[in-house]
Amino acid sequence: MSIEQRVEDIKEDLDFFENELEKYEYIIDLGKKLEEFDEKDKVAKNIVHGCTSQVWLVCKEKDGKLYFYGTSDAIIVKGLVYIILKIFSGSSIDELKNADMDIVFDLKLTEIVTPNRQSGVIGMIKKIKEYIQKA
């Protein structure tokens, strides 16, 4: 599935809910689905800058694809981490390099989460871009 299709799927899921509170609660529920994050990866080089809460993001390459893993110490941010990982993880380097990374607006997150949380999402995307450049 392409990055664009994944964004569209999440957008459809969010559009299902009638109000912002329901969307917010849905994002929190998504955070509960995050895979267990290895404590040894909670180091300075994996911290995402721009977040008000702490967020860690790591990247592993396998068979020409990049896989991202992450977590946060805030429940709503865990949901945002889940969304970012769902969209970008498992994509080829070329697909990631050519992807539209402006998902904050595509998913209408500006209507759901605070500007500080939006900055966190942008920070996660910047971190992913750093990993892409190193791959």
Instruction: Give the active site residues.
Output: 51
Residues 6+ apart with CB under 8 A from 43: 56
Rounded to the nearest 5°, which phi and psi values hold at 97? Answer: -65, -30
- What six digits make up the tokens of 113? 């989460």
- Residue 107's alpha-carbon distances to 6, 26, 32, 58, in angstroms, are 11, 13, 20, 23
Residue 47 three-state SS = strand
In this structure, are residues 123 and 51 in contact, taking their beta carbons and an 8 Å threshold? yes
CA–CA dist 54, 86 (Å, integer): 19
